[in-house]
Amino acid sequence: MSIILWIDPWTTTVWYAIINKISNSNYQLIDFWVFSTTPKIDLSIKLLEIWNDIKELIKTFNPDIISIEKLFFQTNLKTWIDVAQARWVIVYEAIRNNLKILEYTPLQVKKAITWNWQAKKIQLQRAIQMIMKLDEIPKPDDAADAIWLAYMWALNTRL
C-alpha cells in the first residue's frame, strides 16, 4: 500500500486529494477537499497558514508520496510568483518529512487519463468517477483536479 497526497497550490486556496494505492490496479480515494487562507492578509501570513495546513495533512494521513501540479507561466507574473512561493512551502515540508515528490502538468494528466491531451474537464471528471467508483463526479471541479493528479502518481508508482 502507498498513501499518495496530491496538492494543487495557490495562495488563497490549496486543493488536495489523498489516494490509497492498494495494489497496482486497485485504488481507494481516502479524502479530497480544500483549505483556504485568511482573505486579504499579507502573503507571508498566507504562506505560514499553508505551511501549518500541510504539516497537519502530513501528520493526519502519513503519506508516502506527494504529487504537486507543475507550474506553468501565467499572464500575471505577480500571481505566478506568489503561487511559486506557496508551492515552495509545500515542497519544503515534503522534503522535511522525507516524502518522494513528483510533478505533473495538466497536459500530462489529460493524456494519461483520457489518452487525449485536448480532453475537456468533464471528460477527466467522468474518467475519475469511473476509476474511483464514485457515485457522482467530485465537486467542486478543482476537487476532481486534485484526484486526477494523485491518481497519476499512483499509476506511475510500483508497490
Question: Does residue 153 carry a pLDDT above 60?
Answer: yes
42 classed as catalytic: no
Say which CATH number the domain at 138 has. Answer: 3.30.420.10
Q: pLDDT per residue over 72-85, tens digit each?
A: 666 677 787 888 89
pLDDT band at residue 70 under the 50/70/90 scheme:
confident
Asked about 142 being catalytic, the answer comes back as: yes
What global pTM score does this model have?
Answer: 0.79
List the catalytic residue out of 31, 64, 103, 142. 142
The boundaries of the domain holding residue 141 are 2-155
In the chain, pLDDT over 70 holds for what percent of residues?
84
Residues 6+ apart with CB under 8 A from 47: 11, 85, 86, 89
Query: Given this model, what pLDDT does residue 50 score?
Result: 96
Residue 40 gets the label, from left (phi > 0), alpha (psi -120 to 50) or beta, of left
E-state strands within the chain:
2-8, 13-23, 26-36, 65-69, 100-104
> Is 69 a known active-site residue?
yes
Catalytic residue among 49, 53, 69, 82: 69
Band of residue 156 on the pLDDT scale cut at 50, 70, 90 = low
Structural domain count of the chain: 1
